[in-house]
């Protein structure tokens, strides 16, 4: 088990009715917290790295740390590049030890999205790296991805099989009204569309933009049994709020190790909570 790609991991969710959480880490402390949460909860988990994180920390540090921290555990741990739009970064992640990559060609026309995704999928599969694609255009702001409401395109359920077959992806992110970042005002999700997608799909479906969702909406998405749900913004908020809390409450005690521990503890607690909600705990 330990460090794996996402193929078997996500296929298992379809058979056993649970979701694997994918959590965007920002450094080695948050990576360690996510992996330790998986060990504690006996849950599979996916570490996600943005292109910005890759540029900041580098390929060797991220891949070596993920593999090292994944040792001596029975849980399955994968690491995916989230929203890969730069072909060179995607390829370098494949060559340097990521076990999965997401190819985000969602801003392109249907045929071009397929072409871009297929080119990467062929390379990735040669290296035993799994591939996630995206059909539809998810709104909001996430790292280098910024999509206004007017540019949101919800996924056409009738296109998902064609996209999967022609692009060669192992899993597919779909747009049903969730958004990256924090939600502003009432959340409006197209559950009818999600239901159609889940009836048609015989492969793993992914939902992005799951941070900050109202509890009722989160539970309802989970009830449709998608294979993977992404949590990013809440990790960022936990990270920075931990520093704020420390500096406000312990402003005379400048001890970096203490605030690092606070970041670790708060991140781990958040991730463990989602693992319980996703029903992925105690799978080993």
Question: Using one digit for the tens of pLDDT, what is the confidence trace for 187-225?
Answer: 789 999 999 999 999 999 999 989 989 999 999 999 999
**Homologous superfamily in CATH for domain 2-233+270-277:** Aldolase class I (3.20.20.70)
Task: Give the three-state DSSP class for 83.
Answer: strand
pTM of the model: 0.93
Distance set, CA 108 to CA 69, 111, 155, 163, 237 (Å): 37, 8, 13, 13, 31
**How high is the pLDDT of residue 179?**
80
Active-site hit among 82, 202, 245, 250 = 82
Active site residue 82: yes
List per-residue pLDDT tens for the chain, 284 residues long: 589 999 999 999 999 999 999 999 999 999 999 999 999 999 999 999 999 999 999 999 999 999 999 998 889 999 999 999 999 999 999 999 999 999 999 989 999 999 999 999 999 999 999 999 999 877 544 554 444 344 458 999 999 999 999 999 999 999 998 886 665 667 789 999 999 999 999 999 999 989 989 999 999 999 999 999 999 999 999 999 999 999 888 667 888 999 999 999 999 999 999 999 999 999 99
**How high is the pLDDT of residue 72?**
80
**How high is the pLDDT of residue 249?**
85
Alpha helices in 17-109 (DSSP H): 28-41, 51-57, 59-69, 87-95
Nearest to 40 by CA among 270, 220, 208: 270
Two structure tokens written together for 270:
């958040």
Nearest to 171 by CA among 201, 203, 124: 203
Do 280 and 19 form a contact (C-beta atoms < 8 A)? yes
Do 139 and 151 form a contact (C-beta atoms < 8 A)? yes
* Residue 220: DSSP 8-state: H
How far is the C-alpha of 230 from the C-alpha of 207, rounded, in Å?
Answer: 6
**Boundaries of every domain in the chain:** 2-233+270-277
Do 21 and 9 form a contact (C-beta atoms < 8 A)? no
Nearest to 170 by CA among 99, 86, 237, 106: 99
Do 80 and 47 form a contact (C-beta atoms < 8 A)? yes
Two structure tokens written together for 279:
């029903």
**How high is the pLDDT of residue 182?**
63
Nearest to 45 by CA among 29, 11, 22: 22
């Amino acid at each position: 088990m330990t460090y794996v790609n996402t193929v078997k991991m996500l296929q298992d969710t379809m058979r056993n009715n649970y979701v694997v959480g994918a959590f965007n880490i920002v450094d080695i402390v948050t990576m360690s917290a996510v992996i330790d949460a998986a060990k504690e909860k006996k849950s599979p988990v996916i570490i996600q790295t943005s292109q910005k994180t890759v540029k900041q920390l580098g390929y060797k540090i991220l891949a070596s740390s993920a593999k090292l921290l994944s040792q001596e555990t029975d849980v399955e741990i994968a690491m995916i590049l989230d929203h890969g739009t730069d072909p060179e970064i995607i390829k370098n992640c494949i060559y340097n030890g990521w076990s999965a990559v997401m190819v985000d060609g969602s801003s392109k026309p249907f045929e071009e999205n397929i072409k871009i995704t297929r080119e990467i999928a062929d390379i990735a599969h040669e290296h035993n790296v799994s591939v996630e694609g995206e059909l539809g255009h998810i709104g909001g702001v996430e790292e280098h991805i910024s999509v206004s409401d007017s540019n949101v395109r919800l996924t056409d359920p009738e296109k998902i099989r064609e996209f999967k077959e022609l692009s060669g992806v192992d899993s597919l992110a779909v747009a049903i009204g969730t958004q990256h970042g924090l939600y502003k005002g009432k959340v409006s999700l197209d559950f009818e569309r999600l239901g159609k997608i889940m009836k048609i799909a015989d492969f793993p479906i992914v939902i992005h933009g799951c941070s900050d969702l109202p509890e009722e909406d989160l539970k309802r998405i989970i009830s449709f049994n998608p294979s993977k749900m992404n949590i990013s913004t809440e990790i960022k908020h936990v990270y920075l709020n931990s520093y704020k809390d420390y500096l406000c409450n312990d402003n005379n005690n400048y001890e970096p190790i203490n605030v690092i521990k606070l970041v670790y503890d708060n991140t781990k607690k958040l991730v463990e909570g989602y693992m319980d909600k996703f029903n992925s705990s105690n799978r080993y």
